[in-house]
Structure 1
């Protein structure tokens, strides 16, 4: 293995701390959504300790909000499991895209790193890897930043959530989308990638309109992957 490839697997305290600091700016906005979840969970009737445990152990904002919608005296377990799986199915694809760079890690370390994988640190680490730069520190350190700020936000929501009961009214629901769009815009640019993104976007929109909730993410990702297999640079040149 070359020195360059070896450096891509750099995983130490310095790399993790650098990744943590790199994700702090976006993590600040996570606090707001954590607070909104904390408030919503309190209003649902959950105990404070249960709310904090959910944010600490689950760390999946959309799934946690969905769980609140289904919460009641009798929780529909099967419906809850299917809903949460559908929302988080994209993590299967995220893990697959990162596997080439994580496969040399011991299994316990590899799965430990992926425990804090989310959209933001996944996108930034993948961008770093694509530029032949170390990304594991960003993935884990950035994930720790997002996770800790999410927990802090949940606690604030339990205590002071009434001040930010509706983050969407402030336009904060667009922060993550804009961040991921910026990651795409800053990546590699080619006709092949443009076609892949167009296919993925169209498939995702169709799924959003006509298929069950939350399936559009997986459908778009799969469509983009299939397009990437068949749409090669050599074919475009001809």
Structure 2
């Protein structure tokens, strides 16, 4: 492995701390959604320990909200598993994109990092890699910030959730979408990337209208990923 590759795969305590601080601003909004989840879970009938344990061990906001819709006296196990898998299937693709850098880590570290991967820290780490900068600190440190905020917010929601019972009415549901859009705009700019994003967006919209719920995430990612893999950009030789 070259020195440049070792640099990109670096995961030191200073990198983790910098990643943690970088993701703290977006984490403040994650706390608010955690509060909303905690309140919704209480209203659904989950106990305090179950709520905190779910957010701490699962750390999957959209999937956890979806589970609440299926929760009841008789939980439909198979539909619940299918729903959660469909929502979180994008993590399979995230893991694949991160593998070139994660493979240099010991197995325990590799899986430890993946435990806290979410949309925001994945996007920021991939942007760092595209600039030729180390991104694993952003991935892991930022993931810890997001995970801590989600867990804290869920706990707060049990006791103080009535203060923010509907984050959508505050426009907070747009924060993560705008953040990820900013990552796209700030990334590599070329005709190839523009077409890939257009194909991914159109495929996702089609799946949203025509396929089962939550499948649009996977369809859009696969469409853009396949096109990106097939359409290899030629590097300029000097």
So what's the TM-score if we normalise by structure 2? 0.96
1:147-174 CA-to-partner distances (Å, cap 9, x unmatched) read: 0000110111111100100000000000
Structure 2 matches for 1:84-233, cutoff 5 A?
Answer: 84-233=84-233
Deviates more, 1:178-187 or 1:10-19: 10-19
Cα distance in 1 between the residues matched to 2:161 and 2:44: 13
Cα distance in 2 between the residues matched to 1:115 and 1:211: 29
- Alignment RMSD (CA, Å): 0.9
Cα distance in 2 between the residues matched to 1:172 and 1:188: 27
Cα distance in 2 between the residues matched to 1:4 and 1:107: 21
Change (3 A) 1:27 1:194: same
Cα distance in 2 between the residues matched to 1:145 and 1:62: 18
Cα distance in 2 between the residues matched to 1:231 and 1:19: 32
Cα distance in 2 between the residues matched to 1:65 and 1:13: 33
Deviation at 1:93, TM superposition (A): 0.2
Deviation at 1:101, TM superposition (A): 0.6
Q: Find out whether 1:38 has 2:59 as its counterpart.
A: no
Q: What's the counterpart of residue 29 of structure 1? A: 29
Deviation at 1:63, TM superposition (A): 0.5
Q: Find out whether 1:55 has 2:50 as its counterpart.
A: no
Structure 2: stretches of 5+ with no match in the other structure = none
1:111-151 CA-to-partner distances (Å, cap 9, x unmatched) read: 11000000000000111111111111110000000000001
Structure 1: stretches of 5+ with no match in the other structure = none
1:177-231 CA-to-partner distances (Å, cap 9, x unmatched) read: 0000000000010001111111111000000001000000100011112222333
Cα distance in 1 between the residues matched to 2:230 and 2:15: 36
Q: What's the counterpart of residue 18 of structure 1? A: 18
1:80-129 CA-to-partner distances (Å, cap 9, x unmatched) read: 00000000000000000000010111111101100000000000011111
Cα distance in 1 between the residues matched to 2:17 and 2:233: 38
| Alignment: residue pair count | 234
Cα distance in 1 between the residues matched to 2:15 and 2:201: 34
Secondary structure class of the residue paired with 2:178: helix
Deviates more, 1:177-186 or 1:2-11: 2-11
1:3-59 CA-to-partner distances (Å, cap 9, x unmatched) read: 222111111111111100000000000000000000000001111011000000000
Deviation at 1:233, TM superposition (A): 3.9
Cα distance in 2 between the residues matched to 1:89 and 1:187: 24
